[in-house]
Amino acid sequence: MPTYTDREQEALDAYHAYVAQRVSCEQGEAPWSSLQQWFTPDAVFLDPAWGRVEGHEGMTAFFDASMAGLDGWEFPEGWTTADGDRVVSFWWNRVPGEAGDGRPLQAPAVSILHYAGDGRFDYELDVMNMAEVIELLGRSSWRPGDGFQPPGPDPVRDPTPPRLPTP
């Protein structure tokens, strides 16, 4: 089992609280926009479909818009680690249904976050193979729910963080 510095453990604890909030959102107990509370006011979030989103106002709108109509989707964690101010997590995009062999219908993803202190992050980059996610949807019976909206045209994909993380 890895040994973490106090700062790394603090970052991991903040991330686990963020994930617990995400589960509350998945279950319909909280709005997706409530996730912005784990980010600094100047934070940058990069989504593979929607692109770059900046600041609390942008993130609040993004979280609600991007997750509308994704009824039944889950995002379970596989593993998470920390190195300095960096938190890296492997997780799944899971849609309702099963593969023919009984396994869940899911596609892998990775998030890279920068911990800014005080329980907040100032950067998140989500990485996944969107072609694989689209193929997964083709094999599932899932259909978009009320409020679903696709990403807009020409998303900004600049991955520049607001600051470089401390090693």
pLDDT tens per residue across span 50-80: 999 999 999 999 999 999 999 999 999 999 9
Joined tokens for residue 160: 């520049």
Q: Which among 39, 70, 68 has a CA at the least distance from the CA of 56?
A: 39
Kindly report the pTM of this predicted structure.
0.93
Q: What is the pLDDT of residues 7-46, one digit of tens each?
A: 999 999 999 999 999 999 999 999 999 999 999 999 999 9
pLDDT tens digit string along 126-162? 999 989 999 988 888 889 989 999 898 999 999 989 8
In a domain, 105, yes or no: yes
pLDDT (0 to 100) of residue 87? 98
DSSP type of residue 29: S
- In which band, very low, low, confident or very high, does the pLDDT at 167 lie, cut at 50, 70 and 90? low
Enumerate the H helices of the chain as residue ranges. 6-26, 55-67, 130-139
d(CA 123, CA 43): 5
The boundaries of the domain holding residue 70 are: 6-139
Tally of domains in the chain: 1
d(CA 153, CA 27): 29
Is residue 104 assigned to a domain?
yes
Q: Is residue 69 assigned to a domain?
A: yes
CATH code of the domain in which 94 resides: 3.10.450.50
∠ CA 133-142-52 to the nearest 5 degrees?
Answer: 40
